[in-house]
Structure 1
Amino acid sequence: MKFARLGDPGSEQPAVQPGGSGAGEKWYSLAGLTADIGGTFLEGGGISRTREALAAGNLPELTGAAGLRVGAPLSRPGAVIGIGLNYAGHAAESGAAVPDVPVVFLKPSNTVAGPFDDARIPPSSVKFDWEVELAVVIGRRASYLAPTEDAMGCVAGYVLANDLSEREYQLPGAAGQWVKGKSLPGSTPLGPWFVPAEDLDPSSLRLRTWVNGEPRQDSSTADLIFGVPALVHHLSQFMVLEAGDVILTGTPEGVALSGRFPYLQDGDVLELEAEGLGRQRQNLRRASGL
């Protein structure tokens, strides 16, 4: 299944598309099951209730879905948690050692945007960068998980994410801080859809990016240093993970920070893709003010 939220910002409608061959491109309205797709829906058995409703033919088709804006597939999460340097190749191109434990940072939840919304380059930005990522969606509360094996029981599913980053804010000098470079408006496009955990194996998904049609990143989640179970377990030792929270698992090599490619400029077109999770497209625009 694919879950989406379709419509203008602030007025998105929850929708689902069945999986399996012959499912076609029809979207079905979830308005009779839930007002939105978020933590309450996930923790309350929303995925299983949706499967049952689809099997019973109880969901009406969402007419005109193809003409609606695609929003982030999840309502505003309580927390967006980033993992840095989680691919050896990206650590190397960043000039950093491969970490012994996950590098963790937080992004404000108001950075979440739709997958096709324009991306705004900050007025003073000179090093605006892209990062294609597999994002994990938490489905139930996780705190001080004991065995690592328990972690997957807390995962609701997966989405494609872009962790747009301003490197000049993030890294150089005494004032360089990851949170500063990762907190910009609209800097976490999610979607186009959310896929339940039981419908997707996250262990070997191809991740790619293009800028103006030219390839940049091309890697696989098989190269993650810390995989999904290890990340969820690790984070649960330091914070309470709640249903609807999103974990960005890190980006592979091929970003502008490597020095091999120019940073994003006004007018650029950025495209990202994750196997099984769809494709994003963002037009880059210089913001005149925040």
Structure 2
Amino acid sequence: MRFTTYLRNGEARLAVVDGTDLIDLNDAQADVPADLRAALKAGVDLMAAASAALSSSTARQPLAAAKLAPLVADPGKTVCLGLNYFDHAKEGGRDKPDYPWFFYRGTSSLIAHGDAGVVPKVSAKFDYEAELAVVIGKKVPRHTTQADALQYVFGYSCFNDMSVRDYQKRTPQWTIGKNFDGTGGFGPVLVSADELPAGAVGLKIQGRLNGELMQDANTSDMIFGVAETIALLAEVLTLEPGDVIAMGTPAGVGQARTPPVWMKAGDVYEVEIERVGTLVNPIVNEQA
């Protein structure tokens, strides 16, 4: 199944995607919460709800005409990984990490497919990062093993972990450069885990700047896979329904190029993951 989150009267609404159309799940079944995170936290069988909606007479609308929201509009946690592809670690002058470089993203940084990534006034070193996003579907018990971890994944999407590099490097912790408003592209669709290989392994992942291929890799190249990442996080904290994990980016980022390539107003960056979809964000300057 494929799901999306769109806006109706300014509120995020969960829908199932059927070809080029979407069907609002709450319209189809009033007992299904309108929000993806709320539906997951309530333990709703979204696969069954989606199947029922697809066979119902509920009104459809064109997906292309919908104003989308970040796929999980208000995640409890967005945990990101740095240096999770060996070639990306290498291009940054670092060795393969022995433990994931975890950092958090705040909700205010997230934007939807089609929304503009914002070059901040205080920096022109605005970079792109094509990533696989994981959406947790069920509470992950502490100390869950790697062998059991994937049963808690609801699905996968695309993420662009846009980064303000000079701010990222101002401190040993990366958080400040990863949380500017308008820098976390997320969407456009969520593909349920059953439609993809276990752990979303073996999928081509690409990033294109104005149509030019900048990043080209495979999710099999991740140093820490989805199952291992969940197990490592479960040693520390409780992952809950609607939490998100952004799995890191492959080589080809702008800061590693000679000369560096920084995104600027008028650019467009696309993140495409095989069998998942394509996330597109135009780039604009921050306004007064």
Q: Taking structure 1 as the reference length, what is the TM-score of the superposition? A: 0.91
Q: Aligned-pair distance for 1:270?
A: 1.4
The aligned amino acid for 1:239 is L
Pair 60,125 (structure 1): closer, same or farther in 2 beyond 3 Å:
same
Cα displacement (A) at 1:6: 2.2
Q: Which residue of 1 aligns with 2:11?
A: 11
Q: CA RMSD in A?
A: 1.8
Which amino acid in structure 2 is aligned with residue 121 of structure 1? V
In 2, Cα distance between equivalents of 1:155 and 1:59: 30
Asked if the contact 1:164/1:187 (under 8 Å) is kept, the reply is yes
- Aligned partner of 2:130 in structure 1 is 132
Measure the CA separation in 1 of the matches of 2:223 and 2:269: 26
Match of 1:48 in 2: 47
Q: Does 1:72 align with 2:67?
A: no
- Matched to 2:26, the amino acid is A
- The CA deviation at 1:58 is 2.6
- Relative to structure 1, is the Cα distance of residues 2 and 187 closer, same or farther in structure 2, using a 3 angstrom cutoff? same
Which whole-Å CA distance do the structure 2 matches of 1:256 and 1:227 have between them? Answer: 24
Contact persistence 1:125–1:168 (CA under 8 A): yes
After the TM superposition, list the runs of 4 or more consecutive aligned residues in structure 1 that deviate by more than 4 angstroms. none
Q: Where is the strand percentage greater, Structure 1 or Structure 2? A: 2
Alignment of 1:138-287 (within 5 A): 138-172=136-170, 175=171, 177-201=173-197, 202-260=200-258, 261-287=260-286
Aligned residues: 281
- Check the 8 A contact 1:119/1:282 in 2, yes or no: yes
Partners of 1:178 and 1:185 in 2: CA distance: 15
Q: Match of 1:7, as an amino acid? A: L
Q: Is the 8 A contact 2:144 2:234 kept in 1?
A: no
Q: CA deviation at 1:153?
A: 1.4
- 1:162 Cα deviation (Å)? 0.5
Q: Where does residue 21 of structure 1 map in the other structure? A: none
Structure 1 position 11, deviation (Å): 2.5
Q: How does 1:100-119 map to 2 (within 5 A)?
A: 100-119=98-117
2: CA distance, partners of 1:121 / 1:111: 12
Give the % identical residues: 32
- Over residues 86-129 of structure 1, what are the superposed CA-to-partner deviations in whole Å (9 max), with x where a residue is unaligned? 00000001111110111111111221210110111110112110
Q: Distance in 2 between matches of 1:191 and 1:89?
A: 25
Could you tell me how far apart the structure 2 residues matched to 1:36 and 1:15 are? 8
Task: Flag structure 1 segments of 5+ consecutive residues without an equivalent.
Answer: 19-23
Per-residue Cα deviation, 1:224-268 (whole angstroms, up to 9, x for no partner): 001000000101111111100000010000001212441111221
What amino acid does structure 1 have at the position aligned with 2:237?
Answer: M
Change (3 A) 1:64 1:51: closer
Contact 1:145 1:151 in 2 (8 A): no
Alignment of 1:22-61 (within 5 A): 24-32=19-27, 33=29, 34-43=32-41, 44-54=43-53, 57-58=55-56, 60-61=58-59
Q: Is the 8 A contact 2:16 2:22 kept in 1?
A: yes
What is the one-letter code of the residue matched to 1:30?
L
TM superposition shift of 1:52? 4.1
Deviation, structure 1 residue 150: 1.5
Contact 1:30–1:59 (CA<8 Å) still a contact in 2?
Answer: no
Counterpart secondary structure, 1:235: helix
SS of the equivalent of 1:208 reads: strand
Could you tell me the TM-score, scaled by structure 2's length? 0.91
Cα deviation for residue 45 of structure 1 reads 2.8
Distance in 1, Cα, partners of 2:261 & 2:239: 36
